[in-house]
Chain A
Amino acid sequence: MIVLEAIGIKKNFGGVVALSNANLRCYQGRITGLLGANGSGKSTMSKIICGVYQADGGEIKYKGRTVRYRSPSEARKDGIAMVFQNLSLVADLTVWQNIVLGKEESNGIFLNNDSAKELSRKILAQLLPDLDINKKVSQLNPGEMQIVEIAKAISQNPQLLILDEPTAALEQAQVKNLFDCMRALAKEGVAMIFTSHRLWEVMEICDDVTIFRNGENVATIDFEKDEKDPEKIISYITGDTQKTKVEKKHVAVTDETILSIKNLNYGKSLKNVSFDLKKGEILGIGGLAGQGQLELMHALAGAFHSLHCDAELRGKKIKLNRPLNAIKEGIVFVPGDKQLEGLFLKRSVLFNMIFPKMGLPGHPSFIPYDEYRRECEEIVEVLSIKTPTVDVPVENLSGGNQQKVVVGKWLPFDINVLLLADPAKGIDVGAKRDLYQYIVNQVQEKNTSVILYASDNEELVEYCDRVLIMYEGQIVASLEGGDINQDTIIACSMRLR
């Protein structure tokens, strides 16, 4: 039975066309996958269905009648719930307060907190039983937040549940819990829309997929009838039939140690971390989410003022307790949460590109704009960043291009160590390929060393020469050569080996 049918949806933001002619169908008890590159209109489509945006044209039929929601609360009354990509949680409220937010029950005039806590416990028991529901959301790690967000949507007993990239922040065990939960909901007859950049997830959980490109649906594949062919799906997403794998010749890593870290300690999150990084090596950092990997990347980037560590770069002692120190030594950081840590969203591409230089000592007081503009345009060219001019605010660029700006701003620097903290998070297949292609080129041509933290183990397997597994702030395993595969990484992450 068709629960929802969207026909010819159109949506413009300013002059940018987000959806030109999009169609979508969802069936009772089935999970529909939405696939597409960043900026292809998947998120916009989801948000129109649940009332965050209003369509400029087209028609949405929900249970056979035409609907036009003006706010999320209207859609919710009809049983449509959405798990948001940019979380809809309130940091200063507790987990259970967030789960019932907007639909609090009361007895008389006062709120009924007991029933709210019980409901929260019941739903979280399926997804993450260990979570303390009295914690404030600001104290949770990104994976836990995402699960609370999912619990919040499920608590509404929806008939149509939209999950917009719910797995991006989750580790694999949590993804498994989520999938179990989704299958149970599907059995109860809930229709679901699921988006993810991880193809294998979509192929595992979805009953059918609809692929979006440039604001249109270009294909629908029913997994019950059609075969599951990842290459075909990728070619629908990118619109070309080009090979998707990054070429990586295995160059023997040199013996020269470029960065040596000994006894790195920071608070409770990092304990006695020691390792050597070779010149031209791609060193992976893996493990379950939130075991100190992000903290380690931040520590190496000089973000922690009170860091205790003996660090040597090419045998010379360096201090890593100021970002400027790290940058001066050519240790540069590409954060995963680019919008928070890597970019000034409202400023232009040019501003973002030249900004790191202005903090360096000896920078001229008057900014040589003409010179910088030429340099910036070159970088845009090299990284094939899609932007009309360099004066466009970065927030107008798609996620993948934003990430390229974050990488690009370090290009003029003499990079010794490139720190990548989940650089591919939330960017699409095409942009991811470009990004890694560029990084691999850097390593091969300039012998740059890279430390890569990725939440997706596939990226570690594909690109790393060596993988360190972290657990509770310590390095518990170091994998090399043939040991770098999905199974070993997961086994070491969970300390099974």
Chain B
Amino acid sequence: MNKNNQNSSRPALSNYVFRPEFSSLLILIVMFTITAILQENFFTLKSIVRNINAFAPLILLAMGAAVVIISGGIDLSAGSALSLFTCVLTTVMKKSDPITGVYAILVTLAVAILVGVVNGFGIGYLRIPPVIVTFATSYIWLGIGLFLRPTPGGESVEWFRIFYNPGMIEGIHPYIKQFGRVIPPALILILAACLIWFIVSKTRIGRHIYAVGSNSESAYASGINTAKVQMQACIINSIFIFLAALFFVGQNQSGDARMGDPLTLRAIASAIVGGVAISGGKGSVYFALVGALILNFVNKIIFFADISTAYQTLVSGLIVIIAIAAPVAYTLYSKE
């Protein structure tokens, strides 16, 4: 009781401590420390660059998932959309002609916006529950992906590696090669996503995404076009997925219509572990990044702790549950 009273007299501190995001940050620090202890060369430059590259796709998808969840929706088609984008990229690109790389980026960006529009149209204008819409569209994206690329493969222009590791491109200036070893392009993609959301969150669209997710009837009564807002959230999500697709093609130099599937639910889980409320309207897109890091570190810890493969999924599931339950227990305790 007394402790509580003291906290309330210092609102600046309690505002942070009582936010559900705060506990996810604590968990991340714990995970980070455990990983650093288990992995011997954790703090070497090479390892850091490698980790950022490994974490990037889930981070980008988690941020996208957070935008959609905050707007009151959910996206079960994120993984299939990611796969589709890699297929489109590798279909438009011809290895012999470097300029096709630019065409591919533009065409895929258009496809990404279209994917967002279709999801948003179903959710916002047709008012079909988001779970149903995106579950259905996930098969549509998969179908189109398989049509373009029945088996994994395809061509990619050489310079596309710039999205993964510029150091691997032949005949490039040595300075740029060195640069790629220090600052991985994956980090630039993540920063781009953060910047996009930073701009959006300072505009009317960002405010309205929170309003619609929190209470769409109230938002409608306030004169907000809720369907449009839901569509905008879907498009932003799609653009984040598009950034992840650029990274994948840069890394693998090929497209695969099925590669993204496992990421769908992991992205949603990351957003929730990061403190985004599944009911919408609450949470931070940046903390979805924290959630994605936690999920990635879970995998690393299990790998380095020499846990038998038979138990790996079990342990990772338990850690995720603790990560989600901790903030709930924390808020219950702090209310007391």
Contacts and interface: CB of A to CB of B under 8 A. Distances in A.
Interface stretch (B172-180, B203-211, B315-323): B203-211
Contact of B202 (A71, A73, A93, A111): A111
B207 A72 contact: no
A325 B220 CA distance: 42
5 contacts: A90-B210, A90-B219, A90-B222, A101-B219, A268-B5
Contacts of A102: 219, 222-224
Given A102-B222, A109-B199, A111-B204, 15 more contacts: A71-B223, A72-B222, A72-B223, A84-B221, A86-B217, A89-B215, A92-B213, A93-B207, A93-B210, A93-B211, A102-B219, A102-B223, A103-B223, A110-B199, A152-B222
A87 interface: yes
B214 interface: yes
Contacts of B14: none
Nearest to B203: A109
Question: A-B pairs with the 7 shortest C-beta distances?
Answer: A73-B223, A88-B221, A102-B223, A102-B222, A92-B214, A92-B281, A88-B218
A101 B222 contact: yes
B97 interface: no
B313 interface: no
A104 B223 contact: no
B266 interface: no
Interface string A84-124: 10111111110001000111101001110000000000000
A52 interface: yes
Contacts of A84: 221
Contacts of A12: none
A84 B335 CA distance: 31
A384 B80 CA distance: 57
A488 interface: no
Interface string B273-310: 00000000110000000000000000000000000000
Contact of A89 (B202, B218, B225, B282): B218
In this complex, the member of B1, B207, B223 whose beta carbon has the largest number of chain A beta carbons within 10 angstroms is B223
Nearest to A77: B223
A90 B281 contact: yes
Give the interface size class of chain A: 20 to 34
Given A110-B203, A111-B202, A91 B214 contact: yes
A437 interface: no
A88 B210 contact: no
Chain A binding surface SS class = loop
B223 A110 contact: no
A317 B219 CA distance: 49
B299 to A, nearest CB: 32
A91 B72 CA distance: 14
B224 A111 contact: no
A306 interface: yes
Contacts of A71: 220, 223
A72 B203 contact: no
A90 B214 contact: yes
B323 to A, nearest CB: 22
A81 to B, nearest CB: 10
Given A90-B281, A104-B204, A110-B203, A73 B211 contact: no
A101 B281 CA distance: 14
Interface of A: 52, 71-73, 76, 82, 84, 86-93, 97, 101-104, 106, 109-111, 152, 267-268, 306
A101 B224 contact: yes
Contacts of A89: 215, 218
A143 B210 CA distance: 24
B336 interface: yes
A104 B217 CA distance: 18
Nearest to A132: B11
B9 to A, nearest CB: 12
Contacts of A91: 214-215, 281
Given A89-B218, A90-B211, A93-B214, A111 B203 contact: yes
Give the interface size class of chain B: 20 to 34
Nearest to B212: A90
B336 A306 contact: yes
A182 B4 CA distance: 40
B331 to A, nearest CB: 13
Contacts of B202: 109-111
Contacts of A90: 210-211, 214-215, 218-219, 222, 281
A97 B207 contact: yes
In this complex, the member of A52, A87, A111 whose beta carbon has the largest number of chain B beta carbons within 10 angstroms is A111
Contacts of B335: 267
Interface string B164-191: 0000000000000000000000000000
In this complex, the member of A87, A102, A109, A306 whose beta carbon has the largest number of chain B beta carbons within 10 angstroms is A102
A88 B211 CA distance: 11
A101 B43 CA distance: 47
Contact of B207 (A86, A111, A152): A111
A137 to B, nearest CB: 9
A366 B89 CA distance: 60
Contacts of B213: 92
Given A90-B211, A91-B214, A92-B214, A73 B204 contact: no
A109 to B, nearest CB: 6
Contacts of A111: 202-204, 207
A110 B205 CA distance: 10
Contacts of A268: 4-5
Contacts of A82: 221
Contacts of B225: 73
Contacts of A109: 199, 202-203
A105 B73 CA distance: 27
A104 B207 CA distance: 9
A52 B207 contact: no
B205 to A, nearest CB: 10
A52 B221 contact: yes
A110 B218 CA distance: 23
A67 to B, nearest CB: 16
B225 to A, nearest CB: 7
Contacts of A104: 204, 207
Interface in B234-248: none
Contacts of A73: 223-225
B229 to A, nearest CB: 11
B198 to A, nearest CB: 10
Given A89-B218, A92-B282, A110-B202, A76 B223 contact: yes
Contacts of B282: 92
A97 B214 CA distance: 13
A101 B211 contact: yes
Contact of B218 (A87, A97, A267): A87
A86 to B, nearest CB: 8
